[in-house]
Amino acid sequence: MDKKTEDKVKKRVKEGWLKVSLMIEAMAISKETAESALKKHLEKMEREKNMLIYKKDFKGVEEVEKPLPNIPKGFSQIVDVELVAENFDKLVFIVMNYGPSAIEILEPDNIKIDIGEAQGILNTLAALVHRFAALGAGGMIVSS
């Protein structure tokens, strides 16, 4: 990380942004598709507002035997990412929309969430449930 980016990250953490490490995995039936999909996924993520990716480490593509019952062979690639996110609501958005396999909040040690941000998080989660429902992939069943 260059000095300018390092200073920007430190400044944002001092302002209350969350410093986060996460791992994202792509799985596909060809090596090229796994690499391409993960690269495009991260490029889209980098365009998000109120977040700054300052480190990304793409691991090698690995062959995986029987990743799913009807698929004899697949290819997996992982990228380790470090970023700062403006608030916990933004971090929830990142997790829901970019599907990391693992996430660790590096800083701060404690998070205080005001009522507006808590409501924002709940509305973001509700929107996701409704999006899945609209796709026919789930949602809440309301009994009468």
**Tens of pLDDT, residues 65-124:** 998 888 899 999 999 999 999 999 899 989 988 999 999 999 999 988 889 989 988 988
pLDDT over threshold 70, residue 144: no
Range of the domain at 134: 113-144
**Mean pLDDT confidence for 129-137:** 75
Same domain, 54 and 124: no
Query: CATH number, domain at 49?
Result: 3.30.70
**For 52, phi and psi rounded to 5 degrees?**
-140, 120
Percent of the chain with pLDDT over 90: 71
Same domain, 48 and 99: yes
Q: Tell me the pTM.
A: 0.83
Same domain, 78 and 121: no
Same domain, 106 and 129: no
The whole-number pLDDT of residue 75 equals 94
Q: Are 3 and 49 in contact (CB under 8 A)?
A: no
Same domain, 88 and 56: yes
Going by pLDDT thresholds of 50, 70 and 90, the confidence category of residue 26 is very high
Number of domains, the chain: 2
Same domain, 106 and 131: no
For 71, residues 6+ apart whose C-beta sits below 8 A from its C-beta are 29
Same domain, 128 and 91: no
The whole-number pLDDT of residue 56 equals 97
pLDDT over threshold 70, residue 139: no
Same domain, 91 and 120: no
The whole-number pLDDT of residue 129 equals 78
Average confidence score pLDDT of the chain: 90
CA end-to-end distance (rounded Å), the chain: 56
Half-sphere exposure of 98 (CA within 13 A, CB side): 27
Distance of alpha carbon 144 from alpha carbon 140, whole angstroms: 13
Same domain, 106 and 122: no
- The tokens of 49 are what? 């507002």
The whole-number pLDDT of residue 74 equals 93
Same domain, 81 and 144: no
Same domain, 44 and 106: yes
